[in-house]
Structure 1
């Protein structure tokens, strides 16, 4: 099985690099910022004045979350704000972008996954940055959704930019597998699409992913490459995720199986309605997103065999899904809220 070990650079020059982090208040962005601070980089983190789900996090809370970095506030979608309030005419050695659309809606995807990242790339060049690390997603290998197309377009721009780049494509985050934990704790069945074996992933923790992304600044072997990465262990199916939860709870597994064909009924109807009522465009896209994640694995895709390959999906880190489930079953899901991405309530 393919594996990736951590890389720890020790050069004083590497440790004093100035790094600008875009998307610093996102789920992964917070951990990336904290990892860079721990490695003694000079970090500037850029954020909205009100961040988090529905703007629930204040500027003061953001400063505490990103302690050790210099927090600057502005609008990532406004180039003037990014340059004036974010980079301020200063020089940076590297930029890390953890930007991703919160809703996955059509306009939001192009506004954030493409255009905001493009704004950051242009500003990075002006600031003299030579290196750009991008948080992308493994699902762009088989693009069927707008956010995937937007991410791919920016990946193309970044590869053509002349900058040293690392495009990180993680598999599923632990957070994305937490949507049914509270329901199962309350005695409800675990919901599966089909038989629960249609898809698999190698989930990676936020801390391990942050370490991997920080390593990209230090490890030349990660430069100018697209880097798929998963967590430790074998791929885990949706059914196996549910079985693990019930095992940790000491209960007999109880599943509710939903035919994946339900999407094939709702998606055409929503597509038609969205042409008549444009306000429904995002609902149609969310249905397509649900269908995608219910049927496509988050593993390296082999375009020749048209199959997903767990053995070809690199492993990194030490945090396991079992440990994550055990922790949130005990402590609750605070900090793991999915917001607009939640499919199960």
Structure 2
């Protein structure tokens, strides 16, 4: 039997500049939805710490309401709010730490403890398990400092999500680890003011089918400077840039692409620029360097509305050399009114390669070649 806690229920709830510390074990049961383990609201100088263990097991029904480990609302900007213990997401549609700033306020939290996303959600039916989720509403600002491990073990999991006026500072120990689930997203940024500051010279690798290392959308800006990105599992993607105003710059990154995988996807009005210092290595058959598309995909890679008019503003510019020796490899692909400009050298050694490929799913894709 599903227990739907109308209006929400919190194991520990605090308001204003109060103090609460969990040194014990909080469990949100498998039949529970719309519950919070620790909640702090309107406490800019509040003290709210999880030093113990929080288990979120809720899987009450098909598409259950969200359960949350730590919910931080307009709190922590001058206090100390965060996780030094362990938060385990074992159910469906849960968030370990959710930090929200509203109505011109600020919010801030940290995690030096461990977050394990173990349960399987189902992003095909719009449920996601998220380790850390920040939202800074208009006129507000939210920040998180992450130094503890984030382990993505289940299906349909997101490591770090930042939207609106949100800033996340991530140490090397806190970079989300994609450990085997399908439909995982390591880092997810939404909006032009979303900033996720990652450690220099990081290396990122997919672990299972349909993984995406980075998804930036609706005006967010991706900078791949110093990164090594390896998308080497079936239907995986290194970087997805989606929506008007979104900008993806590789800035000398190394991009390794495996079987039935894609390095970059630029779609629905986004801009992608692959500079000449970027190294693109397609290491297996059927790998694809990059796709530019006028249509928009959801989190599982399906078109949101296949019958909608594609954007005419999707643009991918490639200056880098692209190399591959296996069979049936694709270099650069344009689809659905998208624009593609290539000045780089594309060299393939396998059978039936496709260096440049316009796909007229909906006609009028444009390809320009100057190499």
Q: Would the TM-score normalized by the shorter structure come out above 0.5?
A: no
Task: Place the TM-score, normalised by the shorter chain, in its bin.
Answer: under 0.3
Query: Higher relative CO (CA 8 A, sep ≥ 6), structure 1 or 2?
Result: 1
Which TM-score applies when normalising by structure 2? 0.24
- Bigger radius of gyration among the two: 2
